[in-house]
């Protein structure tokens, strides 16, 4: 899996200092790509898959001594990612969606419409506004 486009995400942080560097471990570059993916996807599970790491190792890295900057970047990135996913869900819900069903005989049906269940889910799981907003 490739890392999502991170052109709109600019979160600066100090990578977690590691006593040993592994080429397949949490290098500073992997940490940066993880934060970028987290900001793009809003999901720890999807972000670790994007950088070929595991969820457990990400949480262990976050808990290490010296990970304060990384943890703060994580929190900021997940807020950005969840807000982005909320926007995507609302757009799909309000603009509608198309479902094409094809039968074994080759006939098909086309359903289009507003996804009310997506609107309800998006409103229920709406991200909280930033602290500086009323």
Tens digits of residue pLDDT in 10-48: 899 999 999 888 888 999 999 999 999 999 998 999 999
pLDDT of 131: 60
Q: Which pair of tokens denotes residue 83?
A: 């807000």
pLDDT tens-digit series, residues 93-115: 777 777 788 887 887 877 777 76
Q: Transcribe 35-94 into DSSP letters.
A: HHHHHHH--HHHHHHHTT--HHHHHHHHHSTT-HHHHHHHHHHHHHHHHHHHHHHHHHHH
Q: Where are the domains of the chain?
A: 28-124
pLDDT tens-digit series, residues 43-92: 999 999 999 999 999 999 999 999 999 999 999 999 999 888 888 877 87
pLDDT of 132: 59
Confidence tier at 7 by pLDDT (50, 70, 90): very low
Contacts of 48 (CB under 8 A, 6+ apart): 34, 54, 55, 57, 58
């Amino acid at each position: 899996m490739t890392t999502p486009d991170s052109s709109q995400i600019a979160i600066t942080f100090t990578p977690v200092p590691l006593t040993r560097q592994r080429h397949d471990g949490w290098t500073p570059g992997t940490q940066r790509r993880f934060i970028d993916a987290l900001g793009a996807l809003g999901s720890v599970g999807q972000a670790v898959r994007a950088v070929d790491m595991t969820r457990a190792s990400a949480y262990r890295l976050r808990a290490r001594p010296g990970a304060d900057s990384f943890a703060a970047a994580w929190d900021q990135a997940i807020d950005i990612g969840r807000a982005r996913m909320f926007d995507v869900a609302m757009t799909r819900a309000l603009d509608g969606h198309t479902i094409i069903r094809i039968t074994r005989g080759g006939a098909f049906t086309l359903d289009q419409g507003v996804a009310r269940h997506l609107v309800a889910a998006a409103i229920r799981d709406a991200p909280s506004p930033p602290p500086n907003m009323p």
